[in-house]
Amino acid sequence: MIGLITGQVQYLMAPTACIMTTSGVGYDIELPLPSFCQLQVEQQASIWTHFHVREDAQLLYGFIDRKERDVFRQLIKINGVGAKMALAMLSAMSAAELKMHVEQDSEVALTRIPGIGKKTAQRLLIELKDKLKNIEVDNSNLEFAIQPVAVSHEGSIIAEVEGALISLGYKEKEAQQAIKAAKSNGDVFADTQGLLKATLQQLSGF
């Protein structure tokens, strides 16, 4: 129904959602972490969307990359995998990484995603093989040895840092922008302390 929205990002919300306006209408969109981190307030963006209808809600999920949305749609077809879990999976790893782990039968990599246990990981590996094989994803940035532990913890690290900044008195929007600025040079932070220190330096002007 709603497949693509091009407009201006008006607001970024915790943990990974935005309000985008186009033609006088504001859309509330939930995104996986990689897509969320590419957005900037008051900047133009195009987001590929999936319109999800439940008995109690109508929700929009968005993705900067159309292939990420294709993978998301395959994930939610699996019994027991709802939209929230699919979003968590694509926050923990890219579509290319997920496809690679499925092709390599990497059960361990999937169990490092929050909310996925051993039995669920085994079932996902079986069901995703056919569902993902025909989806072409950009694997040009994949390294020979991927470190799934660091990737899977990135979302929780960002959430912890944002919570810490808010508890220190910073506003939610201010905290999110500082976190994005701290990560803008491509550094990978292995723990909450490292990202919090970098973010506080951004806020203090150093």
Task: Please give the single-letter amino acid code of residue 132.
Answer: L
52-56, 84-88, 144-148, 161-165: least confident range: 144-148
Outline where 37-82 has alpha helix (H): 66-75
Stretch 84-97: mean pLDDT: 87
Q: Is the pLDDT of residue 121 over 50?
A: yes
Closest CA to 121 of 108, 134, 133: 108
Whole-number mean pLDDT of the chain? 83
29-33, 53-57, 154-158, 175-179: least confident range: 154-158
Q: Which of 17-26, 126-135, 177-186, 193-202 has the highest mean pLDDT?
A: 17-26
142: its two tokens: 């994949």
Q: Is the pLDDT of residue 191 over 60?
A: yes
Q: Which DSSP string corresponds to 95-143? A: HHHHHHHHHTT-HHHHHTSTT--HHHHHHHHHHHHHHHTT-----TT--
Stretch 36-42: mean pLDDT: 88
Q: What is the largest CA-CA distance in the chain?
A: 50
CA–centroid distance for 11 within its chain:
17
In contact, 101 and 110? CB cutoff 8 Å: yes
205: its two tokens: 């002007």
Stretch 94-121: mean pLDDT: 87
For residue 156, what is the DSSP state?
Answer: H
In contact, 95 and 68? CB cutoff 8 Å: yes
How do strand 4-13 and strand 25-30 relate by DSSP bridges?
Answer: unpaired
Q: Is the pLDDT of residue 37 over 80?
A: yes
Question: Counting every residue, how long is the chain?
Answer: 206
Q: Give me the pLDDT at residue 95, please.
A: 86
Q: Give me the pLDDT at residue 179, please.
A: 86
Q: Is the pTM of this model over 0.95?
A: no
pLDDT tens, residue by residue, 126-167: 999 888 887 877 666 555 434 444 444 577 788 778 877 776
pLDDT tens, residue by residue, 172-183: 888 888 888 888
85 Cβ contact partners less than 8 Å away, ≥ 6 residues apart: 75, 115, 116
15-29, 55-69, 106-120, 178-192: least confident range: 178-192
HEC string of 164-181?
HHHHCCCCHHHHHHHHHH
Stretch 173-198: mean pLDDT: 79
Give helix 83-92 / helix 95-103 axis angle, nearest 10°.
90
Give phi and psi for 26, each to the nearest 5. -105, 130
CA distance 169 to 167: 5
Instruction: State what percent of residues in the chain have pLDDT above 70.
Output: 85
pLDDT band at 70 (very low <50, low <70, confident <90, very high): very high
CA distance 200 to 188: 16
Instruction: State what percent of residues in the chain have pLDDT above 90.
Output: 29
